[in-house]
Structure 1
Amino acid sequence: MVRKLLITLVVLAVLLVVADFGGRAYAEHRAAAAVQTELGLTQPPDVSIEGFPFLWHAVQGSYPTVIITAADVDQGLLPGTRAQVDLTTVTLPLRDAVAGDTSNLAAQATTSQVIIPLSSLQAALPRQDVTLSAGPNGTLQVNGTVSVAGVSIPVTGTATLSAADNALTLTVASLSAAGIDLTSVARNAAAALASGLTTTIPLRGLPFTVTSGDVQVSGTDVVITVTTGPVTLQELRRTSG
């Protein structure tokens, strides 16, 4: 009798786990379609609903975290750009979750990120005779060459990145040659190269508006991070930063 009871409990536990994972997968699929419509995305995003057991959170209508990731949002100057939104302490009524309706989804805080490949940013620059790479402490390193009297001199500098009004601006104040005392002609050439790199690139296709944000370089990507307080999914598209 005890053995049969244990077997029954194990089977029930397995069925509950399967139901929990199945319910989560179904909810994430429905939410992805709803978020696509709500945020005006060209394709369904990846939606991850955190919290275990899922069914318990679903009945309560609250989740610790919901992560929305949209790939290839910029079909213009910055291909490969991704957008990720982490919503914390999320509320969504069960009836809405079942119906695939996210219009009432609300979060106590959000962290939104725009992730731009360095290769795409480099290709969008007005000068193609430079390379971009990650510098120390999240900075952006710029490397290029200037030619003086047939001699190529490598120069380097640090770019300033800023995000505002759905645009990314790159500015290079100066370029210098490590360990080389440049002549006035070479200095002028380096200054001309630096000024020619300044550019502002629109951020298109984002599921939220970037009015301002912190910009850092991480590995092979430029990452724009925006945080907000309490917000609904509808408000997120209009106000961020």
Structure 2
Amino acid sequence: MRGWLKATIGLAVLAGLLVGADRIAVGVAEDEAADRLVKSGQMSQRPDVTIEGFPFLTQAVSKKLDDVRISSDGLTVRNNGQQVALHSFKAKLSGVDVSDSLNSATVDSSTGSGVITYQDLAQLLPPASQLLGGAPLPGGANSRLSLSYGGPGKVKASLGPVSVGEATVHNQGNTVTVDGLKLSSLAEMFAGLANRKVEPAAFTLDSMPAGLKLAAKDGVTPLPEGLQLSFEGKDVKLLG
């Protein structure tokens, strides 16, 4: 009986040591992966990296990580040098093939999301006068539309206190287009915009986190807090 008890205690201690070693190893790997993502230019700041699944060491030996999660707040995306913040970024990487020293990593498939505020979204669009066919505006040639949530699939636009109208937002690849904007009667009356045609406005995001791209379907979705970007990727070269 005592021999059985000692063996049981010994196995429990050994199991605890193995679990502890596994958790230490995964923590080291997560920190190293976060550093490599920044150094490689895939992320504009150090993210939080979580390697899911237990045990980690068996995944490390096979050089295949089943599920890796990345998150960060305050990353940036760009359009022709214009840089804006990407908030609440989260990504799930499925099937990550890694090298021994984490010098290279390829992801089978990945999904993610993040949010651009409407104030920042307005900075990615051309000046309001350009959208309104060169119309002289009270705020000057460089004044921009103020954008806000307009309901499912829509954003509202205004020039100062004057409502301009609503627009839809959609994407094709990494190019985001704001169109369908119709001038309200108030805008025509008070801002002198009668008979002005509102041109569609588009911008292309040329710097995406973790090698992702905008999802082909519903890549952009207006939300009360801002424009949500949905990401996807197949056979993404994450490192190396």
Per the alignment, residue 157 of structure 1 pairs with: 166
Is contact 1:129–1:145 with CA below 8 Å preserved after alignment? yes
Change (3 A) 1:124 1:230: closer
d(CA) in 2 for partners of 1:56, 1:6:
24
Q: Is the 8 A contact 1:171 1:199 kept in 2?
A: yes
Q: Distance in 2 between matches of 1:112 and 1:33?
A: 20
**Superposed CA RMSD:** 3.8
183 and 19 in structure 1: CA distance in 2 versus 1, 3 angstrom threshold: closer
CA distance in 1, matches of 2:233, 2:42: 20
Report the 3-state secondary structure (helix = DSSP H, G, I; strand = E; otherwise coil) of the residue aligned with 2:22. helix
- Matching residue within 59, 63, 66 for 1:64: 66
After TM superposition, the score normalised by the length of structure 2 is: 0.68
Partners of 1:190 and 1:48 in 2: how far apart? Answer: 55
- 1:108 is displaced (CA, Å) by 2.2
Contact preservation (8 Å) 1:109, 1:231: yes
Partner Cα distance (1:117, 1:187) in 2: 26
Q: Which runs of 5+ in 2 are unaligned?
A: 129-143
Partner secondary structure for residue 195 of structure 1: coil
The TM-score with structure 1 as length reference comes to 0.67
Q: 1:175 and 1:5, CA in 2 relative to 1: closer, same or farther beyond 3 A?
A: farther
Residue matched to 1:227: 232
**Corresponding position: 1:121 with 2:121:** yes
- What fraction of aligned residue pairs are identical, expressed as a percent? 25
Distance 1:19 1:140, change over 3 A: farther
Report 1:69-148 matches (<5 A): 69=71, 71-74=74-77, 77-82=82-87, 84-93=90-99, 96=100, 99-101=101-103, 103=104, 105-113=105-113, 115-125=115-125, 126-127=127-128, 128=144, 130-133=146-149, 135-136=151-152, 139-144=153-158
CA distance in 2, matches of 1:7, 1:85: 41
CA distance change for structure 1 residues 145 and 224 in 2, over 3 Å: closer, same or farther? Answer: closer
Cα distance in 2 between the residues matched to 1:191 and 1:18:
71
- Change in 2 beyond 3 A, CA 1:204/1:109: closer
Displacement of 1:17 in angstroms is: 2.3
Q: Is the 8 A contact 1:174 1:191 kept in 2?
A: no
CA distance in 1, matches of 2:233, 2:124: 29
- Aligned residue for 1:203? 205
Structure 1: how far apart are the matches of 2:114 and 2:17?
39
**Change in CA separation of 1:73 and 1:171 when aligned onto 2, cut-off 3 Å:** same
Q: How far has the Cα of 1:133 moved from its partner? A: 1.1
Pick aligned residue for 1:35 from 27, 34, 37: 37
Counterparts in 2 of 1:221 and 1:205: CA distance versus 1, 3 Å: same
Code of the residue aligned with 1:31 in structure 2: it is A
- Using the TM superposition, give the Cα deviation of residue 29 of structure 1 relative to its aligned residue in structure 2, in angstroms: 1.2
Preserved contact between residue 74 and residue 203 of structure 1 (Cα < 8 Å) = yes
Aligned to 1:142, the other structure's residue is in SS state strand
Which letter does structure 2 place at the counterpart of 1:9?
L
Local SS of the residue matching 2:31: helix
In structure 1, runs of 5+ residues without a counterpart are: 147-151, 236-241
